[in-house]
Amino acid sequence: MDWDDIRYFLALARAGTLSKAARALGVTHVTVARRIARLEEGHQLRLFDRRQNGYGLNAAGERLLVEGESVERVCQQFERQMLGLSDVPEGALTVSIPEHSLIDLTPSITAFMRAYPGIKLTVLATSEELNLNQLQADVVIRMTNTPPELLVGRCLTQIPLYHYGRRDYLASIQGDIKAADWAVYAEQSHAAGEKFYLHELFPDAHIAMCTNSNSQLLAMVREGGVLGLLAEPIARGYPELVIVDKTPVVTLGLWLLTHSDLRDAARVRCFMQFMAERNWG
């Protein structure tokens, strides 16, 4: 049995459509359709019902889904442990970092690239939760006070966040915060938290815009017309922005994390140690 056949089966079972499965696998939808057809024909067993809006598992597919996920876990654990046993600081390394508008890691990453030219970096700038069990990334850097318990690493520094606005916008509302419009970060898992911070301070705050991009939030605050919650190291680079209140709304840890199976891999270990030794003061 080809592991790739199981991988394609699981991808389509989870995605429900050829196009979404193809994006997850990094192939074309034609390839997914061909692989699924070959799997079903080779075993003379239909696994999916073809529907108008996509693919759904039939009874046989449902029964095999659990087994397929079990095989997936074993294969991924094997791959993680192989990577973890690597003692050569070379090869591919995927690092997930926050958006540039939350914390600028460019100088540190550039310095690492110069120090370890044999390591080929892929940098994913996103606040999405990535699955290190499935090797979507080797290392993640996140601003949080609740890092996932299953990951290992350390807190590099603490970053305060304040409400900011353009100086001229604050002047236009004569410093009356109750009259301000607000923009908030509204990615599903964080929206409630940010609105909580806002309404704790300003119960009647008017939220004029929600966005799932911290870069867009920063751009809107810089443009004027709204106030928003920004990380102090980024906001201080824009002289037109001023702090609404000099008490931090929240202070978040900058965490450097990896899977326990990967921490001894030479390229992961080199990156973790290099970043930990940077000056984050």
pLDDT at 105 over 80: yes
Contact by Cβ (8 Å): 128, 185: no
Residues 136 and 270 in one domain: yes
Last residue in a domain, options 84, 107, 135: 84
Res 126 pLDDT > 80: no
Question: 261: pLDDT confidence band, cut at 50, 70 and 90?
Answer: confident
Each residue's pLDDT tens digit, 65-94: 988 888 877 776 776 666 655 665 678 899
The verdict on pTM exceeding 0.95 is: no
Q: Which of 49, 84, 119 is the last residue of a domain?
A: 84
The mean pLDDT of 232-246, rounded to a whole number, is 93
In the predicted model, is pLDDT for residue 231 greater than 90? yes
Residues 53 and 108 in one domain: no
Closest listed residue to residue 93, CA positions, set 73, 118, 76, 72: 118
Whether pLDDT at 195 is above 70: no
Residues 75 and 95 in one domain: no
pLDDT digits (tens, 9 = 90+) for 17-46: 998 998 888 889 899 999 999 998 888 989
* CATH code of 73's domain: 1.10.10.10
The residue to which tokens 């973790």 are assigned:
272
Do 250 and 187 lie in one domain? The reply is yes
Provide the pLDDT for residue 281: 64
Residues 142 and 267 in one domain: yes
Which amino acid would we find at residue 135?
L
Q: What pLDDT is recorded for position 68? A: 85
CA-based nearest residue to 185, from 162, 221, 211, 205: 211
Q: What is the pLDDT of residue 238?
A: 95
Secondary structure E strands in the chain: 48-51, 54-57, 91-97, 119-125, 139-144, 151-166, 181-185, 206-211, 227-231, 241-243, 250-259
Parent domain of 147 = 90-281
Task: Identify whether residues 138 and 247 lie together within a single domain.
Answer: yes
Question: What's the CATH code of the domain at 160?
Answer: 3.40.190.290
Does the pLDDT of residue 137 top 90, yes or no? no
pLDDT top residue among 112 and 260: 112
Is the separation of the CB atoms in 216 and 269 below 8 Å? no
Q: Which residue has the higher pLDDT, 131 or 73?
A: 73
- For residues 89 and 223, the model is more confident at 223
Work out how many domains the chain is built from and give that number: 2
Is there a single domain that holds both residue 111 and residue 62?
no
Mean pLDDT, the chain, rounded, equals: 85
Domain boundary, last residue among 38, 58, 84: 84
